[in-house]
Amino acid sequence: MHAIEVTDLEKRFGEILALDHVSFSVETGEVFGYLGPNGAGKTTTIRILTGITTPTGGSASIFGRDIVRDTIRARKQMGIVYETSNIYDDITAWQNMMFAGELYHVGKQDREERGKELLEIFGLWDRRASRVKGFSKGMKRRLTLAMGLINDPRLLFLDEPTSGLDVQSNLIIRDVLQTLTEKGVTVFLTTHNIEEANLACDRVAIINRGRIAAIDSPERLKKTIQSVQSVEVAFEQGSAKILDDMENLPMVSEVRKVGDKVRLYTEDPGALLREIMLYADSHQNRVVSATTLGPTLEDVFIRLTGIERRNREGGFP
């Protein structure tokens, strides 16, 4: 049985078609990434899959239960962690946990045991009696995730779980996600952090303008755009003129400044490397490092969504 099955899903808001016959399925135990630019339909999809919004067409089911007709039973299988840390600031961490348990009909003993266990895992047990108002952003995020796990869900919806967090919170959340996936929990992850999706997801779907542009494993998606390879090169003497010069090299389709390096997109990295060395010799500059790179998931994302890179941003000092 699929953890999530979405068939021909459509959502209209008046004249606006937010989801245009979207279909995909997520296998049990899979970590499924759902990527897309702002306004692509990610939030609408999650709101439908969690039973908050009703689709105007198509269907979606959670472990075989239709989310429209059998909403409550479908929801019992899931934990939901929204992008915003939606916790109650005026009550304590413990009260938040217990409230989440009561909403999900977790028995008193279970919710107290599980609440303690989760607060310990997320490093919040010592602060259980503190009002959440005084918590840092990372602590609030950890508490939100702990609340999402109070009912021991088989499916976890995670919306931007690590966005803008401190290192400690990031590490704890990633560790917990790793443990969950090892236990066979299905994770539906939306994130702007494409590298995070690349590392964590078994498969990713890229949605753009309400349509699924591609679904596959990150590695297979990268293979579909082998033409987008690049050479990342650092010169001893950086200057804004280098960016112009690199752009004029043959075979270069795009130039992008990456920190103190320049990334040059090309279909033939080997030939381009030779051109770069010739350029360095003729300009009495030295190549400090040069690395050839395959396409990244971000490249796939950009290619499929048609987003333009802000290349040459900043320039050299």
Partner 1 sequence: MNAEFDKDQLTAEAVAAWAIAKKDMIIYYLKPNIIVSGLLFPLFMFLAFAAGKNVPLGYLIPGLISVTLLFSSSTIEPVSIPIERRTKTFERLLSAPVSLHAIVIGESLSGFLYSIGIALVPLIVGIIAFKTTIVFPLALIVGMLLTAIVFSTMGTLFAAYPTESPGDIMSMLNLVRLPLIFVSGTFIPLDAMPPLGAWIAYLSPLTYGNDLIQAAYGHTAFFFPLFDVVMLVVFFSIFQFVAHRLYAKYND
- Window 105 to 144, contacts with partner 1 (CB under 8 A): 105
Residue 142 C-beta: closest distance to partner 1, Å: 16
**Which position among 27, 102, 120, 152 is part of the footprint of partner 1 (CB under 8 A)?**
102
- Window 188 to 217, contacts with partner 1 (CB under 8 A): none
C-alpha of 258 from chain center = 21
- The residues with which 6 forms a beta bridge, in sequence order, are 24, 60
Residue 13 C-beta: closest distance to partner 1, Å: 9
d(CA 238, CA 68): 58
- Burial string for 152-182 (b: 16+ CB within 10 Å, else e) reads ebbbbbbbbbbeebeeebbebbeebbeebbe
- Window 68 to 87, contacts with partner 1 (CB under 8 A): 68-73, 75-76, 80, 82, 84, 86-87
Radius of gyration of the chain (CA): 23
Positive or negative CA dihedral for 74, 78, 84, 88?
A: positive
Nearest CB to partner 1, comparing residues 17 and 234? 17
Nearest CB to partner 1, comparing residues 26 and 80? 80
- Window 24 to 63, contacts with partner 1 (CB under 8 A): 50-54
Residue 272 C-beta: closest distance to partner 1, Å: 48
Task: Give the x/- contact pattern for partner 1 in 225-264, rule: CB under 8 A.
Answer: ----------------------------------------
For residue 161, state whether it binds partner 1 (rule: CB under 8 A). Answer: no
Beta strand segments in the chain, E: 2-13, 16-27, 31-35, 57-62, 65-66, 78-81, 155-159, 186-190, 203-208, 211-216, 229-235, 252-258, 261-266, 287-293
Nearest CB to partner 1, comparing residues 11 and 203? 11
Residues in the chain: 317
Concatenating the DSSP letter of every residue in 50-98 gives TTSS--SEEEEEETTEETTTTHHHHHHTEEEE-SS----TTSBHHHHHH
Residue 37 C-beta: closest distance to partner 1, Å: 22
**Which position among 12, 88, 251, 292 is part of the footprint of partner 1 (CB under 8 A)?**
88
Contact window for partner 1 (CB under 8 A) among 24-32, 98-106, 270-278, 280-288: 98-106
261-266 and 229-235 beta bridge pairing: antiparallel
> Can you tell me which residue has the tokens 């320049």?
262
Nearest CB to partner 1, comparing residues 148 and 218? 148
Nearest CB to partner 1, comparing residues 147 and 165? 147
**Site residues, partner 1 (CB under 8 A):** 50-54, 68-73, 75-76, 80, 82, 84, 86-91, 95, 99-100, 102-105
